Structure 1
Amino acid sequence: MTPDEIYTRLARIEDPKLGNDIVSLGVVDDVTVEPDVVRVRVTLHAPYAPDEEWIAERIREELSDIDREIDLTVPPLPVSDAERPLPSVKNIIAVSSGKGGVGKTTVAVNTAQALAERGARVGLLDADLYGPNVPRMLGDGDGPTLNDETETLTPPERGGIKVMSLGFLVPEKEAAVMRGPMIDSTLERLLVDVEWGELDYLIVDLPPGTGDAQLTLCQTVPLTGAVVVTTPQAVSTDDAHRALHMFGEQSIPVLGIVENMSGFTCPSCGDTHDLFGRGGGKTVAEEYDLPFLGSVPIDPEIRETADDDAHVGTLGEDDTDEAFRDIAGDIANGIGTLRRRGVPN
């Protein structure tokens, strides 16, 4: 058994999204054959993404008949510039919407929870400085602590997710009255002056619209990609187009569209009512040739857990929770596909 023979075997494995084999795509870094072990180093970019877990399992299956130990290792992703902002964060994902009231924060919080549930190291930044709702959704507890020596903030954890929000730093119900330059400086501090540590994913819950906060984020840190949230109705999808245009202007890849509030199933009669129309998010995704990440129904339990400070750890087994798990998996898959295709961070 030689390394070339191992490479030939692994070249039988086709990437689940790109079609090419994983050897030609550069997923296989190195193969070493020793008397008792075959060592295979692979580059996987999206930790705990279903597609990349499938690739790892297929590698093991392809080599399972070899009478040696198979040592499959995934080295840490290289950092192209150690001086860049947030060098210890592998993937930064912006969750955006063109307008308010579409449930963008709900999608951001539940996506973070679903990724953490899969085993990923996750952070959540509430970048909506005028309406920071993440602290309420993720429950009571201590806020961030200040390191006097470094003048950096250590974020609190909620359900294994590192969380930062201006809502921790201003009194409850007090307005954050800021003009553009103050928005820029505050958001930059919440991004780069926080001790996030090693993260697989940092989810950034953006405010609605296409203003200062969005541009600051796009120009301050290397965004891996963005997710745009809409409801089915036209007044929401119209603004989703504007959000997509903004990310296009900033050369930020869009990982897909989420349609929230897609329907309500009556608990008494079982009928489903399309309160905000049907299919608007999917239509936008098709128009831009983007992935449609999924639909999330109107679920009173989501509202109750958010209002009662009990959102952490509430992902269960109903259709809404499964929708968020599928969305999180598709987001991670999209990141892996971008990277395997060679799109830089």
Structure 2
Amino acid sequence: MKAGIVGANGYGGAELIRFLNQHPYADIELLISHSTSGKKISEQYPHLRGLAEWDIEDLHQEGITDRVEVLFFATPAGVTKEVLPSFLEKGIKCIDLSGDFRLKDSESYRKWYGKTPAKEEHLKSAVYGLPELNRDSIKTAELIANPGCYPTAAILGMKPAIQASIVEAKTIIIDAKSGISGAGRSPSMGNLFSEVNENIQAYKLCRHQHIPEIEQAFHELSGKDVAIMFTPHLIPMTRGIMCTMYADLTREMTAAEIHELYKETYKDELFIRVRPLGEIPATKEVYGSNYCDIGLSVDQRTNKLIIISVIDNLVKGAAGQAIQNMNLLGGWNEQTGIHHTPVYP
């Protein structure tokens, strides 16, 4: 499958290159970036020297549509909705890593992203690209909306409990923490070393754009309207997301009973690792991999379920999941090209 990456010079683009460059059934045909066109990708990322020496090209040049079968869009929100439709019309499969097509309700996008939404026809046709939720739909999709990093960790962590109606969905609280790479590569005051080192910051309280995405998925899982409490934090590390989630149980249950539910739900999922009861996952244990590790506990004193889920925000939270979706489109094993052991330490 001939693949192209729009926005190739960002962290998500670099991870896509890492995976596609060793994928047995895909070839990188095209790297696109408006800001660095005319340069080699190895100039932007010297770690790719001798491994990936492609030229970065411009989006608007002639003949692009004849060169690729699938395009990944690793661009900021608000950009993809303007440029992706023309490729979709030419029959190219599109996998969008921005948030432009994740929300089905256009007014919700307008409210939370503060931008004009994509056309309704594209919002309706887009398939939310979380394989553990929408595997069959992804296989035949033309447009895949790759999930956000926080929503991936949160949804996978809570899915079994919500589906089985063992928690009060309206009581869910998500305490989320992310490494600095989630802010992207563009320099800003907020990601300067002196600002983030030895520091933890909460940000976008009650207004983070991933809130409606999580609520949308929880609604689909429960059949009920769900309003969550979600607080993201920036922590001084490069990669990783941890979601610590709390919810009231609808009845008294032991941790062992819920653990069995989680193991049964995810028994066939290649990238979900439900940890042994009493073992709590850490972000370092999924570093560089496409795994989501989940641990749980029950506070019987308050009758609350506690879920810990961890992912690498650039892999399962972005590029790795996008490749997993491409594998579904191609009819290949989902682990192809992304079945990597986590990097440790």
TM-score over 0.5 for the pair: no
- Looking at both structures, which has the greater relative contact order when contacts are Cα pairs under 8 Å and sequence separation is at least 6? 1
Compute the TM-score of the two structures, normalised by the length of structure 2.
Answer: 0.37
